[in-house]
Chain A
């Protein structure tokens, strides 16, 4: 440690900001080749091997994706233990980690190469708007449990970080065409081009189309709304290594244009979502450690939202984020990461916010300390302070009980993570962790002002600027054991999570009554067990499975317990030989309950049982030569229903992919 490091440490601590983890600037490929296993920076903010991280996480690698037969990321995620997926339409899915499935105010932070794709306006992860094709993905990192101390507000149940291949070192050159029933017609292509020594760019474009299906909510004239899930995406990802240790610059730009039907509880929305994003990062080795500065800007435009409940309106959302961090090792056993982050999120919606704009300005400072007690025992501690300022500008509707000055509020909070790993033998590792996370209400929770159409009561719904953050306490224990005899790895995790308060959303059911306002009330406790056993190879037999048991206890009936399956089972069996691969994925999910809302001047809500269901998805792939692969997939052989308003029907498709 030298004076330079102390200076940087001190200077960053003085900043009123502090930051989250970025991913793409880390050379995943070279480290993975060296250590022979996946590596990550997402788990604690410092680079580490998956087998060394004290955090309980799953990694879906590129080989897993290639053998999955999946078309989208939620399909991959639902095959992990502890992950629940419920479709809100044929083309959209809500994903949760260890319960708390809900269409608004998601508790999972989704990142693409460290860039937040979580939509602050609603607190929603719109998967279809992600500008990434599965072939570009190096790994999907799923970190379970509260991660606010690293990622800030809203990462209270976990983080899903999608890491793509490096455009400098990894060549992704492919073209793919897919056809199937429901008029499916998907096209995608990706080209990687070297831009000289240490520099490269990857450009990817995709156009997906299918006909909507499976809608159960057929109330009145609503079918006229139904939109097909179409998606257009183009993205560019570039890296430039500067000579003589000058560091590396990363740049990304993307545009997606999506139409979809989306359901918040039971009523549905049809919408078009246009997303534009740009990101730049710079990483350099200095005497003070590895310094990274990243900035990104995301513009989300919904030029029209046709809603059953609200009529038609539009939304714009702008998110600008700047982050800086310094990562350094002090002595032989201690690593530190000091971070600062500034964020501005602005949502304007003619109809949704009564003609005004809501702005959230957030600053944060964070510190991570990892100590290695011995090669077999290490612990990480992280703390982050977030400070959020809310503002409202523009006209207020006459009926709004709040004036713009009511929105001049600030909220602060401290998040904490502590985790420990001990390798009790060459085969066994134990992980223990505690975390305190913070959930910030979405901008629409704070300031949504909308009047329901007459068929849905004609009430005016108000958010509340006086909402507060909700704290979540998370305790986990994990045991990992390698089984060399069968070349497999077994994991057993137990967790206990306490949510101190919940934030109600419009058309939520609270204690059996339909909620028409934002508010906060008593919390809940979730307890669960996850077991998994996996054997992965590129040739021969490939198999695995996992089981999740979870119970939720609510102090108030928020509907989370109803939406939570108690038992979930996944299994996979595959075999690869010569130029052929065959795989079979099976899922069982126990019954849940959902809400059905009947329109009327006094809308009625009732609870319906969603029966248990089984998903069976086989695939066969034939590698015609080193360039061409033909794949046939049945996405689910039996139709099933994983939410009240949507039925998932069998999808068959055939794809041809050329890689070069």
Chain B
């Protein structure tokens, strides 16, 4: 009875605040950060890790803040040797120098700009939404539950000149 009540409350909260239910999780981020190490040419330590968000979307802004908090370096965080920076999709110049980008959820409006930026600057674009890869926008999508999955777009990988090592490609799903 109590459990049913809790589930109902969570569902109600999701209806009112959808962003609260679709935030990038710590485990998603840990996977996203780890796959960077399997690039054939990994970015130098300390180079920027751009967290892209759509400033016109509250859910996107919230998820970007959530990602930044999870990357903050606390004990429970997703540790990365890169330097996380927030980048508004409407001001992509701020991401100059970044070779890896994490796309906050609910940033679909900025997908065309993301793809253009990735092509121009050879940026690995990672999302936690597999639809982003299937749409040919992101290079990689990560899923942490119920099973860890990594999905790569060969087309985006080619056009943005971002390549993973052979052994890694054999262990993930490619489109």
A residues engaging B (CB < 8 A)? 26-27, 30-31, 33-37, 39, 46-49, 51-52, 245, 285, 289-290, 327-329, 331-333, 335, 370, 372, 375, 426
- A–B Cβ pairs within 8 angstroms, 30 of them: A27-B167, A30-B34, A30-B37, A30-B38, A31-B168, A33-B34, A34-B31, A34-B35, A34-B148, A36-B148, A37-B148, A46-B170, A48-B170, A48-B171, A51-B147, A52-B171, A245-B40, A245-B41, A290-B165, A290-B167, A328-B166, A329-B174, A331-B154, A332-B154, A332-B175, A335-B170, A370-B170, A372-B173, A375-B173, A426-B146
* Inter-subunit contact A31/B148 (CB<8 Å): no
Contacts of A39 in B (CB 8 A): 171
Q: In the complex, A47 Cα to B154 Cα: how many Å?
A: 19
Contacts of A51 in B (CB 8 A): 147
* Inter-subunit contact A332/B174 (CB<8 Å): yes
Query: Known: A26-B167, A39-B171. Is A34-B34 also a contact (CB below 8 A)?
Result: yes
Contacts of A335 in B (CB 8 A): 170
Interface of A is mostly: mixed
Minimum Cβ distance to chain A for residue B136 (Å): 13
Instruction: Say yes or no for B169: interface residue by CB 8 A criterion.
Output: yes
Q: In the complex, A65 Cα to B111 Cα: how many Å?
A: 49
Q: A31-B167, A327-B167, A333-B174 are in contact. List 6 more A-B contacts (CB 8 A).
A: A27-B167, A39-B171, A329-B169, A332-B174, A375-B149, A426-B147
Interface centre among B38, B165, B170, B171 (most CB of A within 10 A): B170
Minimum Cβ distance to chain B for residue A9 (Å): 14
- Count A-B pairs with CB separation below 8 Å: 58
Q: How many chain B residues touch the partner (CB < 8 A)?
A: 23
Q: Which of A27, A30, A285 contacts B166 (CB 8 A)?
A: A285
Minimum Cβ distance to chain A for residue B27 (Å): 9
- Per-residue 0/1 for B5-36: is the Cβ within 8 Å of any A Cβ (1 yes, 0 no)? 00000000000000000000000000100110
Q: In the complex, A339 Cα to B169 Cα: how many Å?
A: 19
Q: In the complex, A48 Cα to B171 Cα: how many Å?
A: 5
Minimum Cβ distance to chain A for residue B172 (Å): 9
Query: Known: A34-B31, A285-B40, A426-B146. Is A329-B171 also a contact (CB below 8 A)?
Result: no
State the 5 A-B residue pairs at the shortest beta-carbon distance, nearest first: A332-B174, A290-B166, A47-B167, A34-B34, A35-B148
Q: In the complex, A47 Cα to B170 Cα: how many Å?
A: 7
Contacts of B168 in A (CB 8 A): 31
Q: In the complex, A328 Cα to B163 Cα: how many Å?
A: 13
Minimum Cβ distance to chain A for residue B138 (Å): 16
Contacts of A289 in B (CB 8 A): 166
Contacts of B41 in A (CB 8 A): 245
Contacts of A33 in B (CB 8 A): 34
A423 nearest in chain B by CB position: B147
* Inter-subunit contact A285/B165 (CB<8 Å): yes
* Inter-subunit contact A329/B170 (CB<8 Å): yes
Query: Known: A285-B165, A289-B166, A328-B166. Is A31-B173 also a contact (CB below 8 A)?
Result: no
B37 nearest in chain A by CB position: A30
B146 nearest in chain A by CB position: A426
Q: In the complex, A290 Cα to B40 Cα: how many Å?
A: 11
Contacts of B148 in A (CB 8 A): 34-37
Interface centre among A52, A329, A375 (most CB of B within 10 A): A329
Minimum Cβ distance to chain A for residue B99 (Å): 15
Q: In the complex, A51 Cα to B171 Cα: how many Å?
A: 11
B33 nearest in chain A by CB position: A34
Q: In the complex, A33 Cα to B150 Cα: how many Å?
A: 13
- Per-residue 0/1 for B133-150: is the Cβ within 8 Å of any A Cβ (1 yes, 0 no)? 000000000000011111
Contacts of A36 in B (CB 8 A): 148
